[in-house]
Structure 1
Amino acid sequence: MRGDGLPQALHDSQRYLDVVLKPQLSPTEAQWLIEKTVDNFTNYFNSGFIDYRKSVTEAGDYAAVEWTGRGATFKDALGRTFIDCLGGYGLFNLGWAHPEVVRAVQTQAAKSPLPSQELLDPLRGMLAHLLAEITPGDIQYSFFVSSGTEAVEGAMKLAKLYTGKSGFIAAVRGFHGKTTGSLALTGKALYRRPPLPLHPDIYHVPYGDAEAVEMQLRIAREVGNDIAAVVMEPIQGEAGAIVPPDDFWPRLRQICDAYQVLLIADEVQTGMGRTGKMWGVEHWNVVPDIMTSAKALGGGVMPVGAFMAKPEIWQVLNENPFIHTTTTGGNPLACAAAIAAIHVSLRERVAEQAATKGEYLLAQLRKLATQYSDFFEDITGKGLLLGMHFKDDEIGYAISAGLFKRGVLISGTMNNARVIRVEPPLVITRDEIDTVLDRLDDTLRSLRVARAGERNTDALVAVKDVAVAG
């Protein structure tokens, strides 16, 4: 592409900037943007997304290309409105473009978007202080990154530095990221197998089974495997909003203490109020040794993640502050967003909102699951991290696609193909929840009618075949 490509890039970048700077598009401009986006994804990003995305396959003549949003609703480039029940896989706890978070970022951008790397960055210190105030127990220190998988990688590294050990115990169907260290913890062969070998000394056990964790630690002790930490999600997100038994996390804490290994809570998806508590582990009054956070920490405006730990564990980083560094992680824009996100979350009591709205939504979904028991297996979750479990993948896709056609964005999970996640912004209104439930009911009713028609057609064909044979 070099050579003649540079003048063309100058022209194209101007065209793209014109779009970025426009608050609204004309119908012609919107159609151009959609066609260009599909072409760019196909030729320069990943054509597989075009084959997979409902926004392309179910959106009619023109694919749905996101444009703007507020609260729990967003519009595509053509002005079509959707209720968001996906929440950016946990990004949008505060909804789309929360004005206070946006204002904090815009104001900071006009002063100092990125740090000097040599002077002290005040916002980094402010955010670290706030996290010490809102995390459970005596967790005190934080290191900031730009994503959840980086946070998990940092937690793993910290655990190894502190313990001098290399092994980890994680859960089947757990999800911790897709860079090679965090991917080694992730409990799904579909993602782990292609890039093998990954980080060594990783042992997986069934989620929610504390006895299996203890058995693995006992075996490790007998055969000489050094385990640095047990890493678990408080509630498994990508596996389908799986809530463990009530004694699971308290038992994990006891077992880790008994075997002198660290307990790491991966709160990338469950943190910042998603499950009805500020942190998922607070449902069981457990204090981990190390925690991770990301996704909603940036208020749905900036990418920011963190791994956090108790002072005695953090001492290994204090002794050598350059043993783990980042150029852009925890930059002033990201920290400004996180500071604003924490403030709004506490002031608006979004964790309590998630608990109340989640209890209502969970009860209504269970009613629908009973009414349409031919489709559903179960409804699981806490707060507004819920999973609709279906009898097969085909049903899940049909319902997801049907809801999209009716203006509701929803999607499956990465580690359990039969589950559709229900993970809306925590600021979703009761009226919006009821609208989603009505559209889900309509989708289920239509699917039942369609399947009945297919069965009648199959039966008629069978009768004709018998008649011909006779």
Structure 2
Amino acid sequence: MTVTNKELGLEIAKRVEGYIQKDQLSQEDVDTILKESEANYNENVNPGWLPYREIMSTDPMFSEWSQREGEFFSDVKGTEFIDCLGGFGIFLAGHKNTEIMKTVHAQLDRYPQHSQDLVNPLQGYFSHLMGLITPGDLQAVWPTNGGTEATEAAIKLSKLATGGKWFISTVNAYHGLSTGALSLIGNADYRSPFTPNIQQVQHVKYGDAEQMENAIVNLQSVGEKVAAVILEPIQGEGGIIIPPAGYLKKVREICDKYGVAMICDEIQTGLGRTGALWRTEAEGIVPDILLFGKAIGGGCMPLTGIIARPWMVTEALVENPTLVSMPTFGGNPLAMSAGIASIRYILENDIPQLVKEKGEYFLKKLNEIQKKYPEMLKEVRGTGLMIGLVLPDMDIMHDFCKEMFSRKVMTSATMNDVTVARIEPCASISYESIDKVCEVIEESIQALMK
């Protein structure tokens, strides 16, 4: 017989609602939250999570609780930090963007969720806007909730549209952790515990178009049809890797030559993060499927998806519109309102240009620091506000993040290259905060050298 404790559950739920609704936590509230959070994570989340946090933080129980509009957030104790982790890119429009949240609040009061089979006007408007702001003739949109869902939709759509079964991905790529997406990422640590994944996947060196073409030719020569190539215009979790000039154009030509769909994962690079609205647009190409996410939710709603060219909408999809992707919450009114407001905010404030200017300022200062401490800061790379700091090894990188954390700046390593610390602040970060972050980076390097 299953035993539950509904009375205790009700008491805790009411108490936590009270914390959420309070303007200011008392010291007793803070102490209770920290104590119970530790127990909750160890018992109900994962006992490895807090030790994992200790790797890059001087306080494993650090708990984000509130945000101030822009680049700042606070913990439950009220200590304020500059955020250079940026939720892996979701806070492009800043924390607690009041312009975007105003629209989401209005939609919450109108109707927060949809009834599935009915027409959702906001999904139609959002999809139309995405068609207007993406490169070329990208047009058909499937909204999803997380990046890995978007990857799964892209896998299915490219199979359906091309009739192919094989995929070419790249080493150090990151496209999500669900079974299909996991097959495409280029990191053994995540793939190996779950093999065999999708078997029809080959990985080639990122930035090497010749390897890409050879893989396609070899497969086709033995009768295997390739459905798609998938790559990031800049590898984010791979360590902020910018490919050689002309690489994406060459891959586009290869895909056209052999009848292979080109999927570009712009979940992290899109919407202005690199100093252009889309990195593919800056590279002068139009993919057959573009993945979007992170910044499109305005930092307040989960929203991702794919947008595809018209030729990919096959007769089978017209006959069964649910065939590729139909998540329960995909295209929900709250997410759509956040997406529409984010697009308006990004266009109206010319976020790509703002990011370009601040990124150039940031990179100039960081390169000056690198020249002073080349043995510790091996390299600075990136574009816009998607920047990687390359440290000598994993342990030094972890210590570097701890030093940064102790000085109230939050950053972390990229997932597939743990020698790289990411700098991905919001577009609205002030020049004063940029100067402060650079000061903290230099102080942290000096502390490590001692």
TM-score past 0.5 threshold: yes
Query: 2:56·2:412 contact (CA, 8 Å) conserved in 1?
Result: no
Aligned to 1:6: 6
- 1:433-452 equivalences under 5 Å are 433-449=434-450
Aligned to 1:425: 426
What is the CA–CA distance in structure 2 between the aligned matches of 1:218 and 1:389, rounded to whole Å? 36
* 1:65-85 C-alpha deviation (Å, 9 max, x unpaired): 111112101111101000000
CA displacement at 1:63 relative to structure 2: 2.9
**TM-score, length-scaled by structure 2:** 0.97
| 1:68 aligned residue (57, 66, 69) | 66
CA displacement at 1:118 relative to structure 2: 2.2
Q: Tell me if 1:416 matches 2:417.
A: yes
Question: Unmatched 5+ residue regions in structure 1?
Answer: 450-470
Aligned to 1:231: 230
Aligned to 2:283: 284
* Counterpart AA for 2:169: A
* 1:233-280 C-alpha deviation (Å, 9 max, x unpaired): 000000111000111011011110001101000011111111111111
Which shifted more, 190-199 or 101-110?
A: 101-110
Aligned to 2:217: 218
* 1:215-250 C-alpha deviation (Å, 9 max, x unpaired): 111111112222100000000000111000111011
What is the CA–CA distance in structure 1 between the aligned matches of 2:298 and 2:165, rounded to whole Å? 34
Aligned to 1:43: 43
State the secondary structure of the residue aligned to 1:14. Answer: helix
What is the CA–CA distance in structure 2 between the aligned matches of 1:58 and 1:243, rounded to whole Å? 31
Aligned to 1:83: 82
Q: Tell me if 1:193 matches 2:192.
A: yes
What is the CA–CA distance in structure 1 between the aligned matches of 2:375 and 2:253, rounded to whole Å? 42
State the secondary structure of the residue aligned to 2:378. Answer: strand
Aligned to 1:270: 269
**TM-score, length-scaled by structure 1:** 0.93
Aligned to 2:340: 339
What is the CA–CA distance in structure 2 between the aligned matches of 1:306 and 1:23, rounded to whole Å? 35
What is the CA–CA distance in structure 1 between the aligned matches of 2:378 and 2:446, rounded to whole Å? 17
After the TM superposition, which parts of structure 1 deviate over 4 Å for at least 4 consecutive aligned residues? 54-57
Q: How many residues align?
A: 447
- 1:60-459 equivalences under 5 Å are 63-69=61-67, 70-316=69-315, 317-324=317-324, 325-449=326-450
State the secondary structure of the residue aligned to 1:230. Answer: strand
Query: 2:57·2:405 contact (CA, 8 Å) conserved in 1?
Result: no
What is the CA–CA distance in structure 2 between the aligned matches of 1:17 and 1:276, rounded to whole Å? 40
* 1:144-183 C-alpha deviation (Å, 9 max, x unpaired): 1101110111011100000111110011000000001011
* Counterpart AA for 2:99: E
Query: 1:174·1:188 contact (CA, 8 Å) conserved in 2?
Result: yes
What is the CA–CA distance in structure 2 between the aligned matches of 1:157 and 1:56, rounded to whole Å? 37
Query: 1:243·1:381 contact (CA, 8 Å) conserved in 2?
Result: yes
* 1:169-203 C-alpha deviation (Å, 9 max, x unpaired): 01100000000101100000000000111112101
CA displacement at 1:2 relative to structure 2: 5.0
RMSD of the TM alignment (CA)? 1.4
What is the CA–CA distance in structure 2 between the aligned matches of 1:345 and 1:322, rounded to whole Å? 31
Aligned to 1:452: none
Query: 1:384·1:423 contact (CA, 8 Å) conserved in 2?
Result: yes
What is the CA–CA distance in structure 2 between the aligned matches of 1:232 and 1:187, rounded to whole Å? 10
Percent of paired sites with the same residue = 38
Which structure: larger Rg? Answer: 1
CA displacement at 1:377 relative to structure 2: 2.1
State the secondary structure of the residue aligned to 1:193. Answer: helix
State the secondary structure of the residue aligned to 1:335. Answer: helix
